[in-house]
Amino acid sequence: MATQDTHAQETHATATDPVCGMQVDPAMAAGTSEYQGTTYSFCSAGCKRQFDKDPQRYLEQPPQQ
Ligand SMILES: [Zn+2]
C-alpha cells in the first residue's frame, strides 16, 4: 500500500495576496512579485499590478480578513 500520500494532511502551502487578502496557492498564482527579499503571490494579474505600483502601501496596511 503506497497510497499513504493520498489522504495525508498535506500542508498545502498558501500565501496571502497582500492586495485583496485572498489565500493564494503559490503554484497557482496568477503572478508573483519579489519585494525586499520576500516573494508575494497574487490571485490575479490586476492585484500584481496594483502591488507593483505601490508595494509599501499594501505591506503597511495588510487587508483585514
Ligand atoms: Zn488578489
User: Is 23 strand, coil or helix?
Assistant: strand
Q: For residue 22, give Cα distances in angstroms to 2, 4, 17.
A: 34, 30, 5
Q: pLDDT category, 7, cuts 50, 70, 90?
A: low
State which residues have CB under 5 angstroms from ligand 1, the bound ion. 17, 19-20, 22, 43, 47
Give distance in angstroms: CA of 16 to centre of ligand 1: 9
Q: Please, is 61 exposed, middle or buried when counting C-beta atoms within 10 Å of its C-beta (0-12, 13-18, 19+)?
A: exposed
Give distance in angstroms: CA of 34 to centre of ligand 1: 15
Contacts from 41-46 at CB under 8 Å and sequence distance 24+?
41/15, 41/17, 42/17, 43/17
The pLDDT value given to residue 10: 58
Give distance in angstroms: CA of 37 to centre of ligand 1: 20
What's the pLDDT tens digit per position in 18-62? 999 999 999 999 999 999 999 999 999 999 999 999 999 999 755
